[in-house]
Amino acid sequence: MQIVAKHLTGARQGESDVFNDVPLTIGRLPSSDLRLGIYDTRASARHAEIVLEKHNIVLHDVGSTNGTFVNGRKLPVAILNTGDIVEFGTGGPKLQFEIQDSPAYASSGVGAAAGNSAKLAHEAFRAAAAMKQNQDSELRAQLNQLRQEHRDLDVAIEALHNSPGSDLLQVQRLKKRKLHLRDRIIQIEDQLTPDIIA
């Protein structure tokens, strides 16, 4: 079995990806099997997955922000066939798929074994996705805390500037801390890779 994904539009336009096994995760996250461009923000960080179900190659939307469109139709689940064009999010990147699968593969015990393997991998993916959601929640809480501390430092620095005989060394220390906080805030924001809603 071989799946070829041709990037028709988007940041990776003109490129192709070739896969010899499923399941495949699709999204803007660098860890995705089929990686969409990080700036293709109509697509979600975790957008869809491809699995094997009863000898069919099946595309599942995994709760994306802007939906998945197969040959122009918005579908949460679709059997992929050679020539299908999939758009990830309204106005998002479009990919054309070629499915190359021999009859011997589908009729043999290898296909059934692959189906069981795909099911287990699919469950593992969903567990990993749930874990990622928990991590995102923790990151958002940390982000809110850092932003609040950043605002508090603004107030403290302003107060020191306005006080007579202010300690310039202390002001510099607070500014340095503020820069450190800003770097950490940007780092967390990048990890969360928010989607743009169509």
pLDDT interval class at 37 (50, 70, 90) = very high
Whole-angstrom Cα distance, residue 167 to residue 71? 66
Looking at residue 62, what DSSP letter applies?
-
Q: Round to whole Å and give the CA distance between 95 and 115.
A: 24
- Cβ atoms 23, 115 nearer than 8 A: no
- The arithmetic mean of pLDDT across residues 151-175, rounded, is 85
The three-class DSSP label of residue 45 is: coil
Cα 143 versus chain centre, distance:
19
> What is the spatial order of strands in the sheet that 56-61 belongs to?
34-35, 24-27, 48-53, 56-61, 77-79
Residue 36 Cα to chain centre, angstroms: 8
Section 128-157 average pLDDT: 83
% of the chain beyond a pLDDT of 90? 56
- 141 pLDDT above the threshold of 90: no
Average pLDDT over residues 54-80: 95
Least confident window among 91-95, 131-135, 180-184: 131-135
pTM to 2 decimal places:
0.55
Query: Residue 74: what pLDDT?
Result: 96
- Helix/strand/coil for 75: coil
Residues 28 and 115 sit within 8 Å (Cβ to Cβ)? no
**Both structure tokens of 76:** 């949460």
